Every structure is written in C-alpha cells, then in structure tokens.
Amino acid sequence: MIIKVCGMRDPENIRSAERLDIQWLGFIFWEKSSRYVSAPPVYLPTKQKRVGVFVDATIKEVMEKIREYALDIIQLHGKESPTYIRHLRSLCGDHVAAIIKALNIATKEDLKKTKPYECIVDYFLFDTKAKMVGGNGTQFDWSVLSAYHGDTPFILSGGIGPGDAEKVKAFHHPMLAGIDLNSRFETAPGLKDIEKLKHFIYEQNQ
C-alpha cells in the first residue's frame, strides 16, 4: 500500500522522512496553506516520488513547478475540470507518472463527483469535506466508500492520525491504493513528527 506524507517543507525533516518506508512525499503549492512551499528546500527527496499539490493553479504554474521541483506526480485539489486535466496531461507527457484528483467526501452522494474524471486521472484522493482545502485533521465516515464502484484506484485521506493504524488495516475496499498522512503527524505546520510516523508505519506492517 502506498503511504503518502504530505505538507513537507523543512530540509532536515525531509531527510528524516526519506529514511522511512514511505512511497510518496507531498509539497503544497497553494499560497493559502500553512504548509505552502514558496521556494525549493535545499534538499528534496531522491528515494520517494515527489507529489506537487495544487489548488486551481494555471497550467503554466503547474508546468513551472514540475520543472523546478522535478515532480513525479500531480495532485489537483481544486475545481479543475476534466478538460483542464486532459490539457495538462498532454503537456506533461512522460515527465509525470500520475495525476491525482482530490475530492471532498461526506456522503455517498459526493461519490458521484468521480464520474466525470473516470479514465482521465490515475488516482482519486478522497478527503474530508471542510472549509479549508486539506490538512483539517478530521475524518469522514469511511463506510460511505462502499458506494464507490469506479475503476480508478483511490488514496484515503482526511485526519488519519497516529492511533489509526488498526482502523486503516481493518478498512477494506478493492480500489484502495494507499493513505495520505498530514496534519495529525505534525509538531507544527509543515514539520512532521518522525517518531510518530515511524511507529504508525511499524504498526501498519504488523
């Protein structure tokens, strides 16, 4: 299972996280986020895939960040349309391994929002519906995902914390590809508690 740790920014924190059994590390390029990355850290990961998180950015802005940060994966967390994503993919070519469309979920009805993006994105990321875009530290009712019957794999996000390893292991869905960890593993915005991550990953692997 993919483990993505999002909201990275501090070089030494990145180095420490890179030593863990994590597949993706995320960098947030939305200026309203408390985890916003305004300039490339002096160290970027070489062992994990680099995920760039965008909210209603222009395609030009996304392409600039892909080049500047050598991004492997693009996560779109705004109101990006299927047409936007098709255009972005055509420009990215082989430079980007995957495109993720994040969707805010509260009820089974919200899962209908996946339909226009089927066969266009590589993953969905199901997050908690809230006022802020991501990093809210709250969970939605995962049982609503039983109504998801799409063919696109998804990343489970939204308030997964250090004490949730058993809950994650107990959650089963044929299209579950991974989990996203962020605010509940922080000592401050953009600064992850490495020991909490290490313990959570250990429990996941048991």
Residues 193-202: pLDDT tens digits?
A: 999 999 999 9
What's the average model confidence in pLDDT over 40-56? 97
Per cent of the chain over pLDDT 90 is 92
- The per-residue pLDDT of the chain, averaged, comes to 95
What's the average model confidence in pLDDT over 144-161? 96
Residue 205 pLDDT grade (very low, low, confident, very high; cuts 50, 70, 90): confident
Distance CA 95, CA 68 (A): 12
What's the average model confidence in pLDDT over 120-126? 98
Q: Which H or E element spans position 128?
A: strand 123-128
Instruction: List, for residues 79-99, the tens digit of each pLDDT value.
Output: 999 999 999 999 998 889 999
Q: What pTM does this model have? A: 0.95
Query: Bigger pLDDT: 204 or 176?
Result: 176
What's the average model confidence in pLDDT over 125-145? 80
**pLDDT at 50 > cutoff 60:** yes
Number of H-type helices and E-type strands within the chain: 5, 10
Cβ contact 125:75 at 8 Å: yes
Pick from 94, 96, 55, 53: which is nearest to 72 by CA? 96
* Residue 77 backbone dihedrals phi, psi, to 5 degrees: -115, 15
Per cent of the chain over pLDDT 70 is 96
What's the average model confidence in pLDDT over 131-136? 58
Give start and end residues of each alpha helix (H) in 70-204. 82-92, 165-170, 194-204
What's the average model confidence in pLDDT over 105-134? 90
**pLDDT at 65 > cutoff 80:** yes
Residue 129 pLDDT grade (very low, low, confident, very high; cuts 50, 70, 90): confident
